[in-house]
């Protein structure tokens, strides 16, 4: 039986350079192979045409290149594209391309399933099976960039980590993937065009600040009242809002980057004055804006979108306090590609 070979893309550029030196070649060979693997997106060693046949065979003997495969691609009436992405071990995650008039945004997954347990989210029902590797996150972006060029005639303009999984529970791999996406060895995209969305893990938000990341942060708040929040997002009982708030204050102090709060208004849950007041108060601590996300029903019907009137009450209160609030209509609902609907239904 063959022993399992290592994915060559788990090696950093320096590690790859060292590998060639140890194997009696030049460090520079490492740069060439690295370029093939990342910026040229080679799927096979034999594609690396400026590398000698012997060297390619040697690489083949030592490593594999674990590329993702877009299994099925669905296109919504509104132009949204959803990819079911098969990983080398057969597991599947989903990523979404969201076009608007001025930009195309990739919504990518960071875990297979999710570590957390938000009651309103279809992905949470899958449980976490494993974390994605940096290359598996990077490949989702590359696949969507290709689709963006093909269908919309321009490269991908933005990336949001709002697909399956909790990015801050796969911290190192998400950071490595973003380093590759922003590096000139990879896509060379500006970190300002990337948003990481978290359900709010205070310790990891502080770590982001300490690591001086340059991308944007979004927090899925949904309630600024502990008792309600821990009912709809049970894990958050471990992270009281005061702790979350302190971590966000810390983030802002270090990064000077505004936070986006994601917030769904549900009937009989947070469509009341106490919830509105609590949100307004919470928003005053750190410069921010609020995205009011339309609810996308998942199968069990426990949650229902609040009335237009309740949403308007939120907007009015936030605006009266000079807090920018936007209503985000969902895209790709007909193909289960909207927020919280990613659940591998086709897999
Ligand atoms: N785990 C991360 C990113 C994934 S979810 C996070 O929690 O932020 C992306 C966004 O969709 C989050 O704001 C999440 O709360 C929201 N969401 C989840 N289920 C939803 C649903 N059924 N309808 C609308 N938004 C939902």
CA of 121 to the centre of ligand 1 (A): 6
Residue 170 assigned ligand-binding role: no
The answer to whether residues 86 and 48 belong to one domain is no
265 and 182 in a common domain: yes
- 131 and 16 fall within a common domain: no
> CB of 227 within 8 A of CB of 207?
no
Q: Does any domain span residue 273? A: yes
Ligand 1 is surrounded, with C-beta below 6 A, by 118, 120-121, 162, 166, 197-199, 220, 262, 264, 293, 295-296, 298, 339-340
The answer to the question of whether 288 is labelled as a binding residue is: no
The total domain count for the chain is: 2
Judgement on whether residues 253 and 112 belong to the same structural domain of the protein: yes
- Whether residues 21 and 99 share a domain: the answer is no
Nearest CA owner, ligand 1 atom 4:
162
Does any domain span residue 328? yes
Ligand 1 binding pocket mutation candidate from 94, 194, 200, 262 (most atoms within 8 A of CB): 262
Q: Read off φ and ψ for residue 263, nearest 5 degrees.
A: -150, 125
Which burial class, exposed, middle or buried, applies to 159 when counting CB atoms under 10 A from its CB (0-12, 13-18, 19+)?
Answer: buried
| Per-position pLDDT tens, the chain of length 347 | 556 899 999 999 999 999 999 999 999 999 999 999 999 999 999 999 999 999 999 999 999 999 999 998 999 999 999 999 999 999 999 999 999 988 999 999 999 999 999 999 989 888 889 999 999 999 999 999 999 999 999 999 999 999 999 999 999 999 999 999 999 999 999 999 999 999 999 999 999 999 999 999 999 999 999 999 999 999 999 999 999 999 999 999 999 999 999 999 999 999 999 999 999 999 999 999 999 999 998 877 789 999 999 999 999 999 999 999 999 888 888 888 877 777 777 55
Q: Is residue 299 part of a domain?
A: yes
Last residue of a domain, one of 14, 34, 64: 64
35 and 115 both lie in a single domain:
no
- Specify whether 126 is located in the same domain as 245: yes
User: Where is the domain boundary, 64, 79, 99?
Assistant: 64
Rounded CA-CA distance 8/33 in Å is 10
- What is the CATH classification number for the domain harbouring 13? 1.10.150.530
On whether residue 346 sits in a domain, the answer given is no
The ligand 1 atom at the shortest distance from the C-alpha of residue 116 is 1
Residue 130 lies in a domain: yes
> pTM for the full model?
0.95
Kindly list the catalytic residues. Answer: 94, 339
Q: How far is the CA of 339 from the centre of ligand 1 (A)?
A: 5
Asked whether residue 55 falls in the same domain as residue 190, the answer is no
Protein residue whose Cα sits closest to atom 11 of ligand 1: 339
Same domain, 233 and 120: yes
- Residues 24 and 143 grouped into a single domain: no
Locate the ligand 1 atom nearest the alpha carbon of residue 163 and give its number. 4
Give me ligand 1 centre to Cα 196, in Å: 12
Residue 143: which CATH number? 3.20.20.70
Query: Rounded to an integer, what distance in angstroms lies between the CA atom of residue 288 and that of residue 189?
Result: 24
Residues 198 and 230 in one domain: yes
d(C-alpha 344, C-alpha 336), whole Å: 9
Residue where a domain terminates, one of 64, 83, 109 = 64
- One domain, residues 105 and 218: yes
Whether 341 is covered by a domain: the verdict is no
Position 344 in a domain: no
State the residue range of the domain holding 44. Answer: 6-64
Residue 252 located in a structural domain: yes
* Helix runs in the chain, H state only: 13-22, 27-37, 53-62, 134-152, 171-182, 202-210, 226-232, 241-255, 273-283, 308-320
Ligand 1 center–CA 222 separation, angstroms: 9
Burial class for 14, CB neighbours closer than 10 Å (0-12, 13-18, 19+): exposed
């Amino acid at each position: 039986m063959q022993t399992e070979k290592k994915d060559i893309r788990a090696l950093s550029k320096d590690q790859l350079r060292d590998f060639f030196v140890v194997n009696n070649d030049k460090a520079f060979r490492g740069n060439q192979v690295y370029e093939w693997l990342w910026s040229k997106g080679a799927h096979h060693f034999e594609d690396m045409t400026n590398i000698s046949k012997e060297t390619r065979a040697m690489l083949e003997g030592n490593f594999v290149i674990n590329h993702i495969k877009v299994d099925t691609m669905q296109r919504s009436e509104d132009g949204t594209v959803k990819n079911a992405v098969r990983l080398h071990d057969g597991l599947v995650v989903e990523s979404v391309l969201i076009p608007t008039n001025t930009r195309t945004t990739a919504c990518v997954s960071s875990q297979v399933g999710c570590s957390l347990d938000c009651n309103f989210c279809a992905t949470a029902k899958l449980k976490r099976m494993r974390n994605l590797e940096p290359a598996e996150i990077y490949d989702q972006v590359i696949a969507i960039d290709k689709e963006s060029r093909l269908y919309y005639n321009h490269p991908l303009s933005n990336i949001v980590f709002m697909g399956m999984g909790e990015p801050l529970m796969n911290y190192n791999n998400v950071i490595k993937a973003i380093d590759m996406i922003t590096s000139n060895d990879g896509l060379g995209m500006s970190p300002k065009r990337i948003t990481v969305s978290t359900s709010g893990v205070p310790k990891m938000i502080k770590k982001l600040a300490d690591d001086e990341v340059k991308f944007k942060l979004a927090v899925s708040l949904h309630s600024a009242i502990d008792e309600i929040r821990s009912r709809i997002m049970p894990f958050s009982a471990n992270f009281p809002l005061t702790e979350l708030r302190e971590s966000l204050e810390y983030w802002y102090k270090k990064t000077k980057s505004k936070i986006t709060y994601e917030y769904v208004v549900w009937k009989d849950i947070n469509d009341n004055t106490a919830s509105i007041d609590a949100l307004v108060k919470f928003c005053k601590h750190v410069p921010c804006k609020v995205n009011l996300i339309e609810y996308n029903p998942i199968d069990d019907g426990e949650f229902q979108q609040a009335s237009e009137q309740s949403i308007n009450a939120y907007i009015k209160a936030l605006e009266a306090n000079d807090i920018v609030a936007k209503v985000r209509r969902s895209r790709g609902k007909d193909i289960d590609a909207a927020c919280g609907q990613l659940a591998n239904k086709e897999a």
